[in-house]
Amino acid sequence: MFFHIVLERNMQLHPRYFGRNLRDNLVSKLMKDVEGTCSGRHGFVVAVTGIENIGKGLIRDGTGFVTFPVKYQCVVFRPFKGEILEAVVTMVNKMGFFAEAGPVQIFVSNHLIPDDMEFQSGDMPNYTTSDGSVKIQKDSEVRLKIIGTRVDATEIFCIGTIKDDFLGVINDPTTV
């Protein structure tokens, strides 16, 4: 799920950036440092949307670096256990399929795929129902439910299932 929250971070700035553009330099350094990172509590920081407040800078002893406490608003993405998400399938194999929902990698193992869907290998490996009506292959969109998440230093891993009602391939209305 996406959230728009305020986070705080202490940014260290080298003296070469002091001057007229100090604030801009600070902000661009913040964006470079924080966008694309992950934490267990907040999840994946997708983008910084604004700066709320920059506190007074404190010069560090020994070096000329100055530390600014910066409060910024950002959009974060954090998957939750039990959440229903839409994801795009990236790889299908006999163990299940891998899907991506934004920066999050989700794996749906074949234990959590309905029993009537069989794996078909070939050029475009896919899972198909016995009557061929539903097919999951690379680039399909699926609705899945997260049953477990874990946040690493830079990545979020999730396990998902489609063995529930209303989960599975999102029907393309033009083909139905």
Partner 1 sequence: MSVVTDSPVHSSGSDDFIDYLNEALDASSPNSSSDEEAENQDEFEDLSRNKRRKLESTEETEGSTSEGIVEQKLVVAESSVVKVDGCTHPGTFGKLCISCGEILDGESGVTFGYIHKGLRLHEEEISRLRNTEMNTFLFSKKLFLVLDLDHTLLNTTILGQLSSEELHLLNETDSLEAKGSLFKLEHMHMMTKLRPFVRTFLKEASAMFEMYIYTMGDRPYALEMAKLLDPQGEYFNAKVISRDDGTQKHQKGLDVVLGRDSAVLILDDTEHAWMKHKNNLILMERYHFFASSCRQFGFNCKSLAETKSDENETDGALAKILEVLKQVHCTFFEKLQGDLVDRDVRQVLSSVRGEILSGCVIIFSRINHLALPTLKRIAEQLGATCLTELDPTVTHVVATDAGTEKARWAVKEKKCLVHPRWIEAANYFWEKQPEENFFIKKTTTQS
3-state class (DSSP) for residue 110: helix
The continuous run of DSSP H or E covering 24 comes out as helix 22-34
Residue from 19, 41, 132, 153 that binds partner 1 (CB under 8 A)? 41
DSSP designation for 113:
S
| Residue 86 Cβ vs partner 1, minimum distance, rounded to whole Å | 17
- Number of residues lying near partner 1 (CB under 8 A): 49
Rounded-to-integer distance, Cα 122 and Cα 92, Å: 11
**Token pair for residue 37?**
């990172």
Q: Does 98 bind partner 1 (CB under 8 A)?
A: yes
In the region spanning residues 17 to 36, those forming contacts with partner 1, defined by CB under 8 A, are 24, 27
Residue from 2, 4, 10, 154 that binds partner 1 (CB under 8 A)? 4
| Residue 174 Cβ vs partner 1, minimum distance, rounded to whole Å | 26
Site string for partner 1, 135-154 (x = CB under 8 A): -----------xxxxx-x--
How far is the CA of 79 from the CAs of 85, 101, 164, in angstroms?
8, 9, 18
**Token pair for residue 72?**
């910024």
Rounded-to-integer distance, Cα 154 and Cα 148, Å: 17
Residue from 93, 133, 154, 171 that binds partner 1 (CB under 8 A)? 93
Rounded-to-integer distance, Cα 17 and Cα 32, Å: 15
Question: Which parts of this chain interact with partner 1 (CB under 8 A)?
Answer: 1, 3-6, 8, 24, 27, 41-42, 49-52, 71, 73, 78, 80-83, 91, 93-96, 98, 105, 107, 109, 111-112, 121, 123, 146-150, 152, 155, 157-159, 161, 163-166
